Amino acid sequence: MQRNVRDYVVVTVGYWAFTLTDGALRMLVLLYLHELGYTAIQIASLFLLYEFFGVVTNLFGGFLGARFGLKLTLFSGLALQIISLALLGVFAAGLTVPLVMFAQALSGIAKDLTKMSSKSYIKLVVRAGDSSALLKWIALLTGSKNTLKGVGFFLGGLLLTLFGFRDAVLGMAAMLAVALALALLLLPEAAGKAGPRVTLGAVFAGDARLKWLSVSRFFLFGSRDVWFVLALPIFLATGLGWDHTRVGGFLALWIIGYGVVQAAAPAYVGGRRNGRDGQSGRNRRSGQGDIGPTAATLGVWTALLLVPLVGITAALWYGVDPAVTLIAGLTLFGVVFATNSAIHSYLVVEYAESDRVSLNVGFYYMANAAGRLVGTVLSGLVFQTAGGGIEGLVACLIVAGFMVVLSAGADYRLAKFEHI
């Protein structure tokens, strides 16, 4: 157990280091290219391969983790992020659309390999059936990751202002190389292997609960990214006139708070289970007295997302001060969304089978990446088509509301399967 915990700490530190660079790189690329005159749709297109390869990576990465072990997938993720950062730094003076898209594709692959490896490892550390501990470990990892991603957003805006694009990305590449070296030296080779007989087709087989949870995740993260990933920061920069540091700092504080809420979620989303086994032979719930949120809990928190979305939309449309509206609305949205995400992250590991956890988690995060891809495309397309400014942001918020409704519908179907 002690060795498992030590290995998990190494994996988590690697994930933290990656998350800092990923958040900073996202803000660096977005603000730098907007400064160079790229439109919202053009910037969105540059992130397409980042999100698209997230879909592909989770499909094949889960298989690779099960077949060859989680050390390989973690090492590959960190190495690809270093290459992406180095490419952008070396060619910073003459960035082209194909080059940025290629670098973002590498970064997208890197992100999902690292995420899948880290979250899968929790299943190998926590004692089977200990739902309370599983919830706490998942919430801690997810919350700390998002807190550091927020720090990365702020870091990206700050580094762009202080050092410029080239020196910022090259410095981050050097920092990440240290984390890669530690992971290479300290982690065992075999962690997470399911054996040589595992096939790629196994990714799509299995538990209906995982499939409905994945559908819910697709629409959930699409609903966030359709307004948050591009429309919001561009509106803050152009509609409110905020500079790079202020935009990065605001989004950083939001994501830091988001991470704090996720880490605290176990204190108020747990509930005693009734001991019924959802699907005999495959369900990892232990029974009477275990504590953990259910699909019904998830559905309630998903539906609650409509409250801040409708509130922000109405306030902007009727001329309430946009800065006040967005600060207040995003605070409430962040609390509800972070809680929702914490429940999601717990349920996917709870449902996953211990001997093929990377396959199950990979399938789930494939849906997550697909939702982010759709949200990113719609964010640039809807915002610009609606004319940008407040009108563009409101249009994105309306689309987000429809996606939340679809996510809640998937939660309802998930609850049906959970109690069969």
What CA dihedral angle connects 287, 293, 296 and 300, to 10 degrees? 160
Share of the chain above pLDDT 90, in %: 21
How much is the pLDDT for 2? 55
Tokens of 139: 């919430």
Q: Which region among 19-23, 193-197, 298-302, 344-348 has the lowest average model confidence (pLDDT)?
A: 193-197
- Per-residue model confidence (pLDDT) at position 201: 57
Q: Is the pLDDT of residue 108 over 90?
A: no
pLDDT at 221 > cutoff 90: yes
Pick from 410, 381, 408, 376: which is nearest to 55 by CA? 376
Instruction: Kindly list the domain boundaries of the chain, sorted by start residue.
Output: 2-185+207-418
Smallest CA-to-CA distance from 366 within 167, 221, 196 is with: 221
pLDDT exceeds 60 at position 298: yes
Concatenate the DSSP letters of all residues of 135-187 into one string.
HHHHHHHHHHHHHHHHHHHHHHHHHHHHT-HHHHHHHHHHHHHHHHHHHHHHS
Distance CA 9, CA 354 (A): 19
Helix (H, G, I), strand (E, B) or coil at 276: coil
Average pLDDT for the chain = 79
- Compute the distance between CA of residue 383 and CA of residue 397 in angstroms, rounded to an integer: 10
Considering 8-17, 117-126, 203-212, 293-302, the range whose residues carry the highest mean pLDDT is 293-302
Higher pLDDT: 337 or 169? It is 337
pLDDT band at 49 (very low <50, low <70, confident <90, very high): confident
3-class DSSP state for residue 272?
A: strand
Nearest to 405 by CA among 205, 250, 190, 220: 220
Burial class from Cβ neighbours inside 10 Å (0-12, 13-18, 19+) for residue 128 reads: exposed
Section 51-80 average pLDDT: 75
Q: What is the pTM of this model?
A: 0.76
Mean pLDDT score, 9-20: 80
pLDDT in tens, 345-395: 888 888 877 666 667 777 888 888 889 889 988 988 899 899 888 999 999
**Top-confidence range, 37-51, 84-98, 366-380:** 366-380
Q: What pLDDT is attached to residue 189?
A: 54
Token pair listed for 170 = 């090259």
**Which has the minimum average pLDDT: 32-46, 266-280, 331-345?**
266-280
User: How many whole angstroms separate alpha carbon 257 and alpha carbon 263?
Assistant: 10
Task: Of 7-21, 110-124, 198-212, 299-313, give the lowest mean pLDDT range.
Answer: 198-212
Average pLDDT over residues 52-74: 73
Lowest pLDDT segment from 121-125, 206-210, 232-236, 331-335: 121-125
Q: Which amino acid is at 379?
A: S
With vertex at residue 399, the alpha carbon angle to CA 396 and CA 404, rounded to the nearest 5 degrees, is: 125
* Lowest-confidence segment of 147-151, 153-157, 288-292 by average pLDDT: 288-292
The residues pairing with 291 across neighbouring beta strands, listed in sequence order, are 272
For residue 199, the model assigns a pLDDT of 56
Residue pair 122/138 in contact (Cβ under 8 Å)? The answer is yes
Q: Percent of the chain beyond pLDDT 70?
A: 80
The tens digit of pLDDT for each residue in 247-281 reads 877 887 888 888 889 888 888 886 544 444 434 33
**pLDDT score of 191:** 53
Reply yes or no on whether the pLDDT at 410 is more than 70.
yes
The pLDDT of residue 1 is 44
Query: Which amino acid is it at 248?
Result: G
- Mean pLDDT, rounded, for 234-246: 84
Residue range 2-185+207-418 forms a domain whose CATH class is mainly alpha
Length of the chain counted residue by residue:
420
Nearest to 255 by CA among 160, 145, 140: 145
The alpha-carbon radius of gyration of the chain (Å, integer) is 20
